[in-house]
Amino acid sequence: MIEVHNLTFGYSSTEDGQILKGVDFAAKTGKLTALIGTNGAGKSTLLKTIMGILKGKGDITINGKSVAEYSTKDFSSTVSYLSQDNDCRVNLTVFEVVMLGRMGSMSFRVSDEDIAATQEVLERLNLQRFASRSIMELSGGQRQLVFMAQALVKEPKILILDEPTSALDLHKQFDLLTLLKNLTQENDFTTLVTLHHLDLAAMFADEIIVLKEGRVYAQGAPQDIFTEAMMEDVYRVRTKIYMDDKGMPHVIPLEAIN
């Protein structure tokens, strides 16, 4: 479980320099929580602050323990983070890149367990045919899946993923989110993911957190969050929301509000 209380972060002390403004939320164990909001709302900044990449003020706990109390090794073995910036400039094979995710648990020598774990995650993401190829030869979407495999291979309890579907075609977005949903439920992961595709967020997330101008605007089940009023207030778009036969909301954009 991830719990955040009164989290603030800014690049200056002025109001304009504040990015996160007293953020409070909880992402629950065994649930996939989607973080949504407009560009510049603070989504990526929030994830980086949870990870300690940016130094904010406030309380952050992971599985009941303050992040300040974790050793670097324990935090790394507990939490996997996938950023938007996964540029690889080293000529490694896909297998080698994925196995790097095991570094926290590997001894001086690579074990049979490390090799088996790497092979398994490559198969789950349908990447085994690329195992011996250089990552430099892959498309942007294929690289994104390789780094997702790297995040999964160390078998974390917490997944923090910043737009993991951004470079993927629609079919692969469905495949990846289905896998993440299943892994979250099967392994009791806590999964926090930023998404821009609102219909996919509604379809796959157990809970939605809406971020607006550095504050949590709302948190709840998709059917409670996706309303025409929210879309107007947060996204400045008039929409039609309809529920499908499974009770899931779908967003039809009509016009921008200027």
Answer yes or no: is pLDDT of 105 > 60.
Answer: no
Look at residues 41, 57, 135, 39 and name the one whose alpha carbon lies nearest to residue 94. 135
Total domains in the chain come to 2
pTM score over 0.85: yes
Residue-level pLDDT at 203: 95
Answer yes or no: is pLDDT of 167 > 90.
Answer: no
**Mean pLDDT of all residues in 162-169:** 91
For β-strands 79-82 and 207-212, DSSP reports them as: unpaired
Residue-level pLDDT at 89: 72
Answer yes or no: is pLDDT of 107 > 60.
Answer: no
161 and 252 share one domain:
yes
95: its two tokens? 């297998």
169 and 243 share one domain:
yes
Q: Residues 20, 1: contact at Cβ < 8 Å? A: no
Strand partners of residue 240: 252
Residue 153: band (very low, low, confident or very high) from pLDDT cuts 50, 70, 90 = very high
44 and 110 share one domain:
no
Answer yes or no: is pLDDT of 106 > 70.
Answer: no
CATH for 43: 3.40.50.300
Q: Residues 207, 35: contact at Cβ < 8 Å? A: no
